[in-house]
Amino acid sequence: MMFPFIKEAMTNLFSRPSTENFPAQPVAAKPNYRGRISYDPEKCVNCGMCVKVCSPAAITREYKDVEGGQEITYHFDLTSCTFCGTCQDFCEEKAIVLTDDYLMFAEDPKDLIVSGTRFKEKVKGKLSCGEGCVYCGLCARNCPQNAITVDRATKTWTVDHEKCVQCGKCIEKCPKKVLSFAEPAPEGVILGPDCIYCGLCARKCPVGAITVDRPSKSWTIDREKCVQCGLCVKNCPKKTLSMGPIE
């Protein structure tokens, strides 16, 4: 044969071009492609593992005090991200997902920051009256729930904690500014009586705060390390762990 390539040339002449007609026909990313991060603040429990494991420090957390609580904002800087997916792997609540959206470009790099804000309600303690009360009764008169009773004659000030809705009206009206909400008792994980020392909580804890020793039947928690993510409570097979005020 004189022209061994002629067959190849003819097939190529009539075959379709290998060029992807990209902007006209969008191409789907391959399976398991790690693209733009999506963050669901509703699922997030603010354990902070993603911030800890992020190697280029692309994830930042911001706290802002607002009325009645705190706003917790997570920023995922895609101009800093390596798209390694470690945050997604460590997120037990699956709040972080690396989607298959690969078209990430912007004229302003700020457009490439993915943010999500979550509101965390501040827990208030019980209402109490301090020193300097003149028993004027203004608090009782302004209480919408009639939870406060003031007796000027006997100089007593009492509050029904069952009725109190912690609206703070009495604190506003108090002329002496002696009313206040007590600091709430610190919350944490509490061990109930049904523990079988299986150690699932210790294995699930993202920060390794729990140590369980089966032979000696001991369950200890490092309150300094605990981020109160609630994973241990969720994974306890005996449902004996709970969140609550600790002494």
Partner 1 sequence: MIKKAIANSMQRSPWLYHVNTGSCNGCDIELVACLTPRYDVERFGFKLAGSPRHADIVVVSGPVTSQSKERLLRTLEQVPKPYCIVTLGSCPQSGNVFKGSYSVEAPIEKFCHVDVAIAGCTVKPEAVVAGLYRATEILKAKREAMNK
Q: Check residue 3 for interaction with partner 1 (CB under 8 A).
A: no
Place of tokens 């729990």: 210
Q: Check residue 85 for interaction with partner 1 (CB under 8 A).
A: no
The CA distance from 99 to 36, in Å, is: 5
**Closest separation between CB of residue 13 and partner 1, Å?**
15
Which DSSP state fits 188? E
Interface with partner 1 (CB under 8 A), residue from 12, 55, 117, 145: 55
Q: Check residue 51 for interaction with partner 1 (CB under 8 A).
A: no
Q: Check residue 58 for interaction with partner 1 (CB under 8 A).
A: yes
The CA distance from 110 to 231, in Å, is: 33
The CA distance from 226 to 228, in Å, is: 6
Interface with partner 1 (CB under 8 A), residue from 7, 61, 79, 158: 79
Q: What phi and psi values does residue 227 have, to the nearest 5 degrees?
A: -105, 5
Which DSSP state fits 183? P
Q: Check residue 80 for interaction with partner 1 (CB under 8 A).
A: yes
Q: Check residue 104 for interaction with partner 1 (CB under 8 A).
A: yes
Q: Check residue 112 for interaction with partner 1 (CB under 8 A).
A: yes
Q: Which amino acid is at 106?
A: A
The CA distance from 46 to 71, in Å, is: 11
Q: Choose the stretch contacting partner 1; rule: CB under 8 A; options: 73-81, 139-147, 172-180, 201-209.
A: 73-81
Which residues contact partner 1 (rule: CB under 8 A)?
17-20, 22-23, 27, 29, 33, 35, 55-58, 77-83, 102-107, 109, 112
